Amino acid sequence: GTAEIGVTGLAVMGRNLARNFARHGFVTAVHNRSAAKMHSLVADHGDEGTFIGSESMADFVASLARPRKVVIMVKAGAPTDAVIDELVPLLEEGDIVIDAGNAHFPDTIRREKDLSARGLHFVGTGVSGGEEGALLGPSIMPGGTTEAYASLGPILEAISAKVDGVPCCTHVGPGGAGHFVKMVHNGIEYADMQLIAEAYDLLRQGLGASAQEIGDVFAEWNTGDLESFLIEITADVLHHTDARTGGAFVDVIADAAEQKGTGRWTVQNGLDLGVPITGIAEATFARALSGGAPQRAAAVGTLPADTQPWEVPDRDAFVDDVRKALYASKVVAYSQGFDQIAAASAEYGWDIDRGAMARIWRGGCIIRARFLNRITEAYERDRGLPLLLADPYFTAAVADGVAAWRRIVAAAALHGVPTPAFASSLAYYDGVRAERLPAALIQAQRDFFGAHTYRRVDVEGTFHTDWSGDRSEQPA
Ligand code: 6PG
């Protein structure tokens, strides 16, 4: 065969990725379970490059040059396994299977083991940027072996987004590292979206501002440190007028946020690794709360607010406070997400370069943002940085906003505006910087009811107090 890369699974993401490969001059083999999608791709976009369409998996595999590079772009879970099972018997040693779907990373670890035992490379690859990114340049997070990356990497880098000429694609690490990092990307995406939603709600309720006016605020914010894709589209959405009612579009959307599961996976993994990703967790739970119809129906109009009317004396100062609270909370969410990457990297032996992750998220992906440059710089200053918040740049940036952050979280509480992500991020900030935490009391309680033992601040060793007896202390 002659095709340099193949794509099987030609729903919108696969179709656009295939077009992206072809547009970059790669001879691209294409295949879909129902051939109609393959034929329509070739008919509609054949002039964009060189496609080799096949109706059968066998012909598709035969059309590829060796080592074959096959991108699977189907639904995560069982559909991905089904395609792998059909594909693998047709492949030969050294061929590379790329799963570009939103796979759960434990599945990727399993598949990589299976395929490497058969002499094949399996590259679990995170791809972010939605439909448009797939076509015009996504952020790409490939896992797998260095050997696979050596031949595959240049192709993926070619089709990825570029920022200052630098591709938004790099080898993340072995095994499930790529899909893990994509998962955390999505968790951070949830936190970013929730923080933006809370900022919007505060501006709406605090100022009584219209969606249009708040859209203007977000457009303004998008010219500063907060500049990002999500802030930009928020301004667009808030400026959008509903054709049916003539009112603000945001007001006619049902307020129950859905999810496909990647945020939930991130939180589950945060619990497994014991990493406090509170911003991501609150964002995920906020979606669950919004969708909890029976609970909300039981509470609306029933649970008292006991709040005062909200009169904001200085509107400009308030808007600026919200901006600072948003930025500080965002730094916390990223700091936590990067902690999670570090913990998983240590746990699974992936050796992930966090600065490089921030670099490949600068373009193409949903969380692309100006401030990711700052994160890359922070990890360049100190590759082992234990806490992003403690990097001098971020410490100063948050210090500049911490008073505003407190005013906003306090005002939200006083006026009954739910800000779980703002508030929990501030609580994390205060927790992590506290010289002494009440965890000491928890340790004492654990020892009291379960003889779980404790350590002391003044003497080495582990101890137990005889709580039910004479309360003497013994070494445990
Ligand atoms: C991306 C997005 C993409 C998708 C999310 C949506 O990086 O391109 O994250 O993967 O939009 O899966 O997730 P929810 O449906 O869970 O909100």
Note the pLDDT tens digit of each residue in 216-228. 999 999 999 999 9
Q: What is the pLDDT of residue 240?
A: 98
On the question of pLDDT at 308 being above 90, the answer is no
Q: Is the CB of 259 under 6 A from ligand 1?
A: yes
Report residue 118's pLDDT band, with 50, 70 and 90 as the boundaries. Answer: very high
Angle at 201 between CA 200 and CA 202, to 5 degrees: 90
What are phi and psi for residue 392, nearest 5 degrees? -55, -40
On the question of pLDDT at 166 being above 90, the answer is yes
Angstrom distance (rounded) from CA 293 to CA 296: 5
List residues bridging with 454 in a β-sheet.
Answer: 463
On the question of pLDDT at 368 being above 90, the answer is yes
Angstrom distance (rounded) from CA 67 to CA 462: 57
Mean pLDDT of 447-468: 98
Q: Is the CB of 395 under 6 A from ligand 1?
A: no
Note the pLDDT tens digit of each residue in 407-426. 999 999 999 999 999 999 99
Note the pLDDT tens digit of each residue in 87-101. 999 999 999 999 999
Nearest alpha-carbon partner for 397 in 470, 308, 330, 466: 330
At a CB cut-off of 8 Å and minimum separation 6, what does 197 contact? 286
Could you tell me if 336 and 190 are in contact, meaning their C-beta atoms sit under 8 angstroms apart? no
104 is an annotated ligand-binding site residue: no
Q: What is the pLDDT of residue 26?
A: 98
Q: Is the CB of 332 under 6 A from ligand 1?
A: no
Note the pLDDT tens digit of each residue in 129-140. 999 999 999 999
CA distances from 148 to 127, 133, 242, 465 (A): 17, 23, 49, 57
What string of H, E and C letters represents the secondary structure of the chain? CCECEEEECCCHHHHHHHHHHHHCCCCEEEECCCHHHHHHHHHHHHHHCCEEEECCHHHHHHCECCCCEEEECCCCCHHHHHHHHHHHHHCCCCCEEEECCCCCHHHHHHHHHHHHHCCCEEEEEEEECHHHHHHHCCEEEECCCHHHHHHHHHHHHHHCCEECCEECECCCCCCCHHHHHHHHHHHHHHHHHHHHHHHHHHHHHHHCCCHHHHHHHHHHHCCCCCCEHHHHHHHHHHHCECCCCCCEHHHHCCCCCCCCCHHHHHHHHHHHHCCCCHHHHHHHHHHHHHHCHHHHHHHCCCCCCCCCCCCCCCHHHHHHHHHHHHHHHHHHHHHHHHHHHHHHHHHHCCCCCHHHHHHHCCCCCCCCECCHHHHHHHHHHCCCCCCHHHCHHHHHHHHHHHHHHHHHHHHHHHHCCCCHHHHHHHHHHHHHHCCCCCHHHHHHHHHHHHCCCEECCCCCCEEEECCCCCCCEEEC
Mean pLDDT of 195-205: 98
Mean pLDDT of 337-344: 98
The residue written with tokens 């708040």 in the block is: 214
Mean pLDDT of 361-371: 96
Nearest alpha-carbon partner for 29 in 218, 17, 188, 141: 17
Q: Among 262, 284, 287, 368, name the best residue to mutate to test ligand 1's pocket (greatest count of ligand atoms within 8 A of Cβ).
A: 262
Strands 462-465 and 473-475: antiparallel
Mean pLDDT of 335-350: 98
Determine whether 460 is an active site residue: no
- Catalytic: which of 189, 198, 282, 330? 189
Mean pLDDT of 52-69: 98
Which numbered atom of ligand 1 lies nearest the CA of 139?
7
Q: What is the pLDDT of residue 183?
A: 98
User: What's the ipTM?
Assistant: 0.96
Q: What is the pLDDT of residue 204?
A: 98
On the question of pLDDT at 69 being above 90, the answer is yes
Torsion of CA 183, 189, 192, 195, to 10 degrees: -90
Stated length of the chain: 476
What are phi and psi for residue 155, nearest 5 degrees? -70, -45
Determine whether 189 is an active site residue: yes
Report residue 194's pLDDT band, with 50, 70 and 90 as the boundaries. Answer: very high
On the question of pLDDT at 399 being above 90, the answer is yes
Which numbered atom of ligand 1 lies nearest the CA of 262?
16
Could you tell me if 7 and 29 are in contact, meaning their C-beta atoms sit under 8 angstroms apart? yes
Note the pLDDT tens digit of each residue in 270-291. 999 999 999 999 999 999 999 9
Angstrom distance (rounded) from CA 359 to CA 228: 14
Q: What is the pLDDT of residue 291?
A: 97
Angstrom distance (rounded) from CA 424 to CA 277: 10
- 141 CA from centroid of ligand 1 (Å): 14
Q: What is the pLDDT of residue 358?
A: 98
Q: Is the CB of 102 under 6 A from ligand 1?
A: yes
The mean pLDDT of the chain is: 98
Mean pLDDT of 193-212: 98
